[in-house]
Amino acid sequence: MNATWTVKVERMQIRLPVGIYADELEPQTVWVSLMADGVASASPQFLDQCFDYEPLCHWLTNVWPRTPHTPLLETRINELLGFVFGMDERLETAWVGLYKQRMSGQAVAVGIERRVTRAEFFTEQQTAALPVTQPVAKLSKKHERNPHAAILS
């Protein structure tokens, strides 16, 4: 007999290179939250009958932070969704949130969230032009003095 299980990560703090501003080229504190649901054994006896979250935690803390800078949190969310759905074919839905500490002067955190099914995600990836991470453009003279000036202007 099977049951619906949820893999959950709540406000894991990592350092990730993401953002459109000059001072965001280096990794910054980002909080990761996610829930991924799928069907597996209701009474598992072995790890392969469960959703193993250890590879996810390893990727979030050791692999993902070493990837090149990306301007948008939305791109990072799609990267994370691709990893989550790729780690176990039994996972069918996922909700992911990424939050920046540096943007939250009056809030605990500010960020973006997305909920999607496996089928929706892979259909989008196949039909849309996949985003290509471009090197960050050099700052123009007008933005050199403002650390919060957009890089991609």
How confident is the model at residue 104, as a pLDDT?
Answer: 64
Q: Which pTM was predicted? A: 0.82
Q: What distance in Å separates the CA atoms of residue 121 and residue 124, rounded to the nearest whole number?
A: 5
Question: Quick one: average pLDDT of 44-64?
Answer: 96
Q: What is the pLDDT of residues 72-115, one digit of tens each?
A: 999 999 999 999 999 999 999 999 999 998 766 788 788 999 99
Local confidence band at 153 (pLDDT 50, 70, 90 cut-offs): very low
How confident is the model at residue 131, as a pLDDT?
Answer: 53
Quote the distance between the C-alpha of residue 142 and its chain's center: 32
Strands 110-117 and 91-100: antiparallel
Q: What is the pLDDT of residues 26-48, one digit of tens each?
A: 999 999 999 999 999 999 999 99
Closest CA to 134 of 53, 35, 20, 13: 20
| Dihedral in degrees, nearest 10, Cα atoms 83, 84, 86, 87 | 110
Q: What is the pLDDT of residues 112-142, one digit of tens each?
A: 999 999 999 999 988 876 554 443 433 343 4
Q: What distance in Å separates the CA atoms of residue 48 and residue 89, rounded to the nearest whole number?
A: 12
How confident is the model at residue 124, as a pLDDT?
Answer: 92
Question: Side chain identity at 125, as an amino acid letter?
Answer: Q
Full set of structural domains in the chain with CATH: 2-143 (3.30.1130.10)
Token look-up 């996610």 returns 34
